[in-house]
């Protein structure tokens, strides 16, 4: 058989299993960069899509509150009473 013939292409099958991991630190850096450059709407949308599900992680919530105070100096986090 020749290499590259239809018979070898049909006989050969490869499976590639990939596990995709989210780069949370890079996403957080991007969010902070957007906020510091003043792109608050884009930053908020980015946060909602990429970081909101990780909001229980202290560095993420810390940067979120920092960025919100940059956007609005009167920002006060909501507290549970």
Q: What is the pLDDT of residues 9-65, one digit of tens each?
A: 556 667 878 777 889 999 999 999 999 999 999 999 999 999 999 999 999 999 999
Indicate whether 62 belongs to any domain: no
Global pTM reads 0.68
What gap in Å lies between CA 1 and CA 25, rounded to an integer?
Answer: 50
Could you tell me which of 66, 67, 65 has the C-alpha nearest to residue 79? 65
DSSP 56: T
Asked, for residue 66, whether it belongs to a domain, the answer is no
Domain count, the chain: 1
**Is there a domain that residue 27 lies in?**
yes
C-alpha triplet 26, 28, 29: angle, nearest 5°:
65
> What is residue 81's predicted lDDT score, i.e. its pLDDT?
45
Q: What pLDDT is attached to residue 37? A: 94
b vs e for 12-30, b when ≥16 Cβ sit within 10 Å of the residue's Cβ?
eeeeeeeeeeeeeeebbeb
- Structural domain span for residue 41: 23-54
């Amino acid at each position: 058989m020749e290499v590259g013939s239809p018979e070898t292409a049909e006989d050969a099958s490869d499976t590639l299993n990939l596990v995709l991991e989210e780069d949370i630190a890079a996403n957080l850096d991007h969010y902070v960069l957007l906020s510091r450059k003043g792109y608050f709407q884009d930053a908020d949308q980015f946060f909602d899509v990429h970081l909101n599900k990780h909001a229980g992680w202290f560095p993420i919530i810390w940067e979120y509150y920092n960025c919100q105070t940059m956007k609005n100096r009167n920002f006060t986090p909501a507290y549970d009473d």
